[in-house]
Amino acid sequence: MCGITGIFDTRDARQVDRAVLQRMNDSQLHRGPDEGSVHIEAGLGFGHRRLSIIDIATGQQPLFNEDGSVVIVYNGEIYNYQELIPELQAAGHRFRTKSDTEVIVHAWEQWGEDCVKRFRGMFAFALWDRNRQTLFMARDRLGVKPLYYALLDDGTLLFGSELKSLLTYQGVGGGLRRDIDPLAVEEYFALG
Protein backbone atom coordinates (compact mmCIF):
# COMPACT_ATOMS: atom_id res chain seq x y z
CA MET A 1 0.00 0.00 0.00
CA CYS A 2 1.44 3.37 -1.02
CA GLY A 3 -0.08 6.81 -0.72
CA ILE A 4 -0.38 9.59 -3.27
CA THR A 5 -1.43 13.18 -2.85
CA GLY A 6 -1.41 16.34 -4.89
CA ILE A 7 -2.40 19.92 -5.53
CA PHE A 8 -3.20 21.28 -8.99
CA ASP A 9 -4.14 24.86 -9.83
CA THR A 10 -6.73 24.69 -12.61
CA ARG A 11 -6.69 28.44 -13.26
CA ASP A 12 -3.49 30.41 -12.77
CA ALA A 13 -0.57 28.00 -12.21
CA ARG A 14 0.05 29.55 -8.78
CA GLN A 15 3.06 28.22 -6.91
CA VAL A 16 2.27 25.30 -4.62
CA ASP A 17 3.35 25.73 -1.00
CA ARG A 18 5.90 22.97 -0.29
CA ALA A 19 5.07 22.91 3.43
CA VAL A 20 1.36 22.38 2.74
CA LEU A 21 2.06 19.60 0.24
CA GLN A 22 4.51 17.99 2.66
CA ARG A 23 1.87 18.03 5.44
CA MET A 24 -0.63 16.40 3.08
CA ASN A 25 1.94 13.75 2.15
CA ASP A 26 3.02 13.17 5.76
CA SER A 27 -0.60 12.58 6.80
CA GLN A 28 -0.33 9.27 4.90
CA LEU A 29 2.97 8.12 6.41
CA HIS A 30 1.43 4.81 7.51
CA ARG A 31 0.63 4.00 3.85
CA GLY A 32 4.28 4.17 2.83
CA PRO A 33 6.84 4.16 5.61
CA ASP A 34 9.78 3.27 3.33
CA GLU A 35 10.13 6.58 1.46
CA GLY A 36 8.40 9.87 0.87
CA SER A 37 9.01 12.48 -1.78
CA VAL A 38 7.38 15.51 -3.38
CA HIS A 39 7.66 17.25 -6.73
CA ILE A 40 6.65 20.87 -7.29
CA GLU A 41 6.47 22.95 -10.46
CA ALA A 42 4.28 25.88 -11.52
CA GLY A 43 0.72 25.15 -10.48
CA LEU A 44 1.40 21.54 -9.52
CA GLY A 45 2.54 19.56 -6.51
CA PHE A 46 2.73 15.75 -6.28
CA GLY A 47 3.50 13.77 -3.14
CA HIS A 48 4.16 10.06 -2.70
CA ARG A 49 4.57 7.74 0.27
CA ARG A 50 6.22 4.47 -0.70
CA LEU A 51 5.88 0.94 0.55
CA SER A 52 8.60 -0.87 -1.43
CA ILE A 53 7.28 -4.03 -3.08
CA ILE A 54 8.26 -4.04 -6.78
CA ASP A 55 11.65 -2.71 -7.94
CA ILE A 56 12.86 -1.85 -4.45
CA ALA A 57 16.11 -0.27 -5.72
CA THR A 58 14.80 2.11 -8.43
CA GLY A 59 11.04 2.47 -8.03
CA GLN A 60 11.05 5.88 -6.31
CA GLN A 61 8.30 8.36 -7.07
CA PRO A 62 7.37 10.85 -8.34
CA LEU A 63 8.76 9.19 -11.48
CA PHE A 64 9.53 10.97 -14.77
CA ASN A 65 9.86 9.99 -18.41
CA GLU A 66 13.22 10.41 -20.18
CA ASP A 67 12.95 14.15 -20.88
CA GLY A 68 11.17 15.03 -17.62
CA SER A 69 7.99 16.22 -19.35
CA VAL A 70 5.74 13.54 -17.81
CA VAL A 71 5.60 12.91 -14.06
CA ILE A 72 3.48 10.41 -12.14
CA VAL A 73 2.51 9.43 -8.61
CA TYR A 74 0.95 6.01 -8.35
CA ASN A 75 -0.45 3.52 -5.88
CA GLY A 76 -1.16 -0.06 -6.82
CA GLU A 77 0.02 -2.87 -8.98
CA ILE A 78 -0.29 -3.42 -12.73
CA TYR A 79 -0.32 -7.22 -12.97
CA ASN A 80 0.42 -7.34 -16.70
CA TYR A 81 3.16 -4.68 -16.74
CA GLN A 82 5.87 -7.14 -17.82
CA GLU A 83 3.75 -8.09 -20.85
CA LEU A 84 3.47 -4.43 -21.89
CA ILE A 85 7.22 -3.67 -21.71
CA PRO A 86 8.24 -5.41 -24.99
CA GLU A 87 5.43 -3.71 -26.90
CA LEU A 88 6.41 -0.29 -25.54
CA GLN A 89 10.12 -0.95 -26.20
CA ALA A 90 9.28 -1.91 -29.80
CA ALA A 91 7.55 1.48 -30.11
CA GLY A 92 10.81 3.17 -29.06
CA HIS A 93 10.37 3.69 -25.32
CA ARG A 94 13.44 3.20 -23.11
CA PHE A 95 13.10 1.89 -19.56
CA ARG A 96 15.37 2.96 -16.68
CA THR A 97 13.63 0.91 -13.99
CA LYS A 98 11.92 -2.43 -13.60
CA SER A 99 8.80 -0.85 -12.09
CA ASP A 100 5.21 -0.99 -13.17
CA THR A 101 5.11 2.77 -12.54
CA GLU A 102 7.35 3.44 -15.52
CA VAL A 103 5.10 1.27 -17.70
CA ILE A 104 2.22 3.64 -16.92
CA VAL A 105 4.29 6.67 -17.98
CA HIS A 106 5.30 5.13 -21.32
CA ALA A 107 1.81 3.71 -21.90
CA TRP A 108 0.46 7.26 -21.46
CA GLU A 109 2.96 8.55 -24.01
CA GLN A 110 2.00 5.78 -26.44
CA TRP A 111 -1.77 5.46 -26.04
CA GLY A 112 -2.91 8.56 -24.13
CA GLU A 113 -6.09 8.10 -22.09
CA ASP A 114 -6.59 4.65 -23.63
CA CYS A 115 -3.61 3.40 -21.63
CA VAL A 116 -5.95 2.42 -18.80
CA LYS A 117 -7.72 -0.01 -21.12
CA ARG A 118 -4.44 -1.95 -21.34
CA PHE A 119 -3.85 -2.24 -17.59
CA ARG A 120 -4.91 -5.26 -15.55
CA GLY A 121 -4.59 -4.62 -11.87
CA MET A 122 -5.50 -2.37 -9.00
CA PHE A 123 -4.30 1.20 -9.25
CA ALA A 124 -4.82 4.89 -8.65
CA PHE A 125 -2.54 7.47 -10.23
CA ALA A 126 -2.14 11.09 -11.19
CA LEU A 127 0.02 12.02 -14.16
CA TRP A 128 1.06 15.47 -15.40
CA ASP A 129 2.09 15.84 -19.04
CA ARG A 130 3.75 19.24 -19.36
CA ASN A 131 3.88 19.13 -23.19
CA ARG A 132 0.15 18.46 -23.48
CA GLN A 133 -0.68 20.63 -20.43
CA THR A 134 -2.78 17.72 -19.19
CA LEU A 135 -3.42 16.35 -15.73
CA PHE A 136 -4.75 12.79 -16.02
CA MET A 137 -6.02 10.88 -13.01
CA ALA A 138 -7.38 7.32 -13.05
CA ARG A 139 -8.13 4.41 -10.82
CA ASP A 140 -8.92 0.75 -11.41
CA ARG A 141 -12.35 -0.27 -12.60
CA LEU A 142 -13.44 -1.66 -9.22
CA GLY A 143 -12.02 1.19 -7.16
CA VAL A 144 -9.79 -1.12 -5.13
CA LYS A 145 -7.20 1.64 -4.76
CA PRO A 146 -8.79 4.81 -3.41
CA LEU A 147 -8.52 8.22 -5.02
CA TYR A 148 -10.28 11.08 -3.27
CA TYR A 149 -10.44 14.50 -4.90
CA ALA A 150 -12.03 17.89 -4.42
CA LEU A 151 -12.22 21.06 -6.51
CA LEU A 152 -12.11 24.13 -4.27
CA ASP A 153 -13.83 27.43 -5.05
CA ASP A 154 -10.52 29.09 -5.98
CA GLY A 155 -9.81 26.50 -8.72
CA THR A 156 -7.46 24.34 -6.65
CA LEU A 157 -7.83 20.61 -7.25
CA LEU A 158 -6.76 18.40 -4.37
CA PHE A 159 -6.36 14.63 -4.49
CA GLY A 160 -5.10 11.87 -2.27
CA SER A 161 -5.29 8.23 -1.30
CA GLU A 162 -7.03 9.22 1.91
CA LEU A 163 -9.60 11.88 2.68
CA LYS A 164 -7.51 13.15 5.60
CA SER A 165 -4.76 14.27 3.20
CA LEU A 166 -7.30 16.61 1.57
CA LEU A 167 -8.51 17.84 4.95
CA THR A 168 -4.90 18.69 5.88
CA TYR A 169 -4.76 21.28 3.07
CA GLN A 170 -4.88 24.93 4.10
CA GLY A 171 -4.21 27.23 1.17
CA VAL A 172 -4.58 30.93 0.47
CA GLY A 173 -8.34 30.63 0.06
CA GLY A 174 -8.73 28.31 3.04
CA GLY A 175 -9.21 24.59 2.95
CA LEU A 176 -11.71 21.95 2.06
CA ARG A 177 -15.11 22.83 3.43
CA ARG A 178 -16.37 20.31 5.94
CA ASP A 179 -20.08 20.98 5.45
CA ILE A 180 -22.35 18.01 5.04
CA ASP A 181 -24.29 18.06 1.79
CA PRO A 182 -27.87 17.02 2.71
CA LEU A 183 -28.51 15.76 -0.84
CA ALA A 184 -25.41 13.54 -0.67
CA VAL A 185 -26.58 12.09 2.66
CA GLU A 186 -30.01 11.40 1.18
CA GLU A 187 -28.46 9.74 -1.88
CA TYR A 188 -26.17 7.67 0.33
CA PHE A 189 -29.09 6.27 2.34
CA ALA A 190 -31.32 5.85 -0.71
CA LEU A 191 -28.72 4.31 -3.03
CA GLY A 192 -26.05 2.97 -0.70
User: Any alpha helices (H) in the chain, and if so which ranges?
Assistant: 18-26, 81-90, 100-111, 115-118, 163-167, 182-191
Q: Return the pLDDT at 192.
A: 79
Q: What is the CATH number of the domain that holds 23?
A: 3.60.20.10
The number of CA neighbours under 13 Å toward the Cβ of 122 is 8
Q: Return the pLDDT at 98.
A: 85
Q: Would residue 92 count as lying in a domain?
A: no
Q: Would residue 98 count as lying in a domain?
A: no
Q: Would residue 71 count as lying in a domain?
A: yes
Q: Return the pLDDT at 53.
A: 61
Q: Would residue 187 count as lying in a domain?
A: yes
* Residue 115: active-site member: no
The answer to whether the pTM exceeds 0.95 is no
From 2, 84, 105, 127, active-site residue: 2
Q: What residues make up the domain containing 178?
A: 3-76+121-191
What is the arrangement of strands in the sheet containing 44-50, beginning at the earlier edge strand?
35-41, 44-50, 3-9, 156-160, 148-151
Q: Return the pLDDT at 52.
A: 62
Low-confidence ranges of the chain (pLDDT < 50): none
Q: Return the pLDDT at 60.
A: 78
> By C-alpha distance, which of 33, 117, 43 is closest to 80?
117
Q: Return the pLDDT at 170.
A: 79
Q: Would residue 153 count as lying in a domain?
A: yes
Number of separate domains in the chain: 1
Q: Return the pLDDT at 57.
A: 56
Q: Would residue 62 count as lying in a domain?
A: yes
